[in-house]
Amino acid sequence: GQRKSMTLVVMEAINLILKENRLPLTTWRD
């Protein structure tokens, strides 16, 4: 259960960072 929780937290953190920086994933891959 902790692993899933960590994954969700990480994903949420990434989403927040992306929203704050307003940088799409395409920019990171590009």
Mind listing the pLDDT tens digit for each residue in 3-30?
Answer: 878 899 999 998 888 888 776 666 655 5
**In this structure, which amino acid lies at residue 9?**
V
DSSP state of 26: H
- pLDDT attached to residue 25: 60
Q: What angle do CA 30, 17, 23 make, to 5 degrees?
A: 35
- pLDDT attached to residue 2: 76
- pLDDT attached to residue 12: 92
Side-chain-side CA neighbours of residue 4 (13 Å): 1
DSSP H or E stretch at residue 10: helix 2-21
What are the residue ranges spanned by the domains of the chain? 1-30
- pLDDT attached to residue 24: 61
